[in-house]
Structure 1
Amino acid sequence: MGVDLTKFYIAVSLISLLGACQSFKRPEPPATLNSRYNDQQPALSGDGRWLALVSNRNNSNEILLYDLRGKKFIQLPGLNQGNVILESPSLSRTGRYLVYISSVQGRPDVAIYDRATRRAEILTQNYRNWVRNPQISADGRYIVFETARRGQWDIEVLDRGPLIELDIPDGTPVANP
């Protein structure tokens, strides 16, 4: 009987090892708010439909976008990178533009993600000062943030210019500035 039990334990051990060698698929995060994960820094879009937040649902610091009307998370391809810490999200009127702090190797920069083009862009790449707490205007043209340029925290306004595509509800006429 002792021999049979030993063979059984060896067989179970081998099966466990083989199972562990198979590719591991990361579990999908829950599709609801208020989960067991650490969700923080919420930001609402101007139209009240979109909620951006910082979460650790995928075992890393990410910005997630939740559709309050559809009650589901929306994919943001090209936004969350494994080696980048993202924080302080802010949304434009319809959630097209998402402004946030992106820190690579401890250096924070103000960045913007355009959901229409699925591209992220660093706005303060050559900026030599510390930045924090960015906010975007409803139409997506202006971004404000705190800067330590003068040795204290001051406010800066970044105008993205009159040629950007504004975040406006469909069919809304835009007056020239």
Structure 2
Amino acid sequence: MNGLNFGLTIALASLLTSCANYPRLLSYPFDPGGRSLNSAASDLTPQIAGRYVVFTSDRFNRQNIYLFDTATRSIVDLPGLNQFDAIASNPDISDNGRYIVFTASRQGRTGIFLYDRENRQSRNLSANLQAQVRNPTISADGNTIAFESSANGQWDILVYNRSGDRLNIPQEPR
């Protein structure tokens, strides 16, 4: 092994050991009833935070958002999140599992919604935007939500706080 390869190997080894929890392999038994993480349904866009895995699935012939708790090894009930007149997708979750941000399409209009598991309510953060929106993500502490918006005729990233107020992030010229 030459010096360059040895240095690269050491750098990769230190990088991998500093990420002790990643990548993680989650291995749960298959459940044909859809009550576990692994089922016969199409499960899309999984995101993991802390002990939770949030994902979109077409279980029970309908695309909804599901939350799996790795500690209890079960699907968590999300009352008020999935609506009959909306198609939910692209979920993300805060580290403590309280807040879930997602995209939902209702009557041809797509919005970015924030669901609070404590009060069991969803709120449309992008209701006042006259634009298409997509790909939401939430900070680990659940205080900040970022998503893409076409408000300026191109895809820009908007940042909101949990209350639904847009944050003005200063942009430094480079």
TM-score w.r.t. the length of structure 2 is 0.72
C-alpha distance in 2, partners of 1:31/1:120?
A: 23
Give 1:97-112 correspondences, 5 Å limit: 97-112=99-114
Match of 1:121 in 2: 123
1:66-110 deviations in whole A, cap 9, x for unaligned? 011111001000111111000010101111000000110121100
User: Counterpart of 1:130?
Assistant: 132
Q: CA deviation at 1:126?
A: 1.7
Contact 1:29 1:58 in 2 (8 A): no
Secondary structure of residue in 2 paired with 1:52: strand
- Equivalence for 1:34: 38
- Other structure's SS at 1:58 match: helix
Aligned to 2:48: 44
- In the alignment, what sits opposite 2:98? 96
Please report how far the alpha carbon of residue 138 of structure 1 lies from its aligned counterpart in structure 2 after TM superposition: 1.0
TM-score by length of 1: 0.71
Aligned to 1:62: 64
Counterpart residue number, 1:168: none
CA contact (8 A) 2:98 2:116 kept: yes
- Listed as ranges, the gaps of 5+ residues in structure 1 are 1-27, 162-177
Runs of 4+ in structure 1 deviating by more than 6 angstroms, as ranges, are none
> What is the RMSD of the two structures over their aligned residues, measured on CA atoms?
1.4
Residue matched to 2:4: none
Post-superposition offset of 1:154: 0.9
Q: Distance in 2 between matches of 1:108 and 1:53?
A: 18
Distance 2:97 2:33 in 1: 21
Q: Which amino acid aligns with 2:126?
A: T
Determine if contact 2:92/2:136 at 8 Å carries over to the other structure. yes
Distance in 2 between residues matched to 1:96 and 1:123, nearest whole Å = 17
Q: CA deviation at 1:116?
A: 0.6
Deviation at 1:120, TM superposition (A): 0.9
Q: Whole-Å Cα distance in 2 between the matches of residues 149 and 127 of structure 1?
A: 7
Aligned-residue offset at 1:112: 0.5
Secondary structure in 2 matching 1:151? coil
Amino acid at match of 1:155: I
Contact 2:129 2:151 in 1 (8 A): no
Q: Deviations over 1:5-46 (max 9, x none)?
A: xxxxxxxxxxxxxxxxxxxxxxx942222211111110112x
- Please say which structure displays the higher CA radius of gyration: 1
2:78 to 76, 79, 90: 76
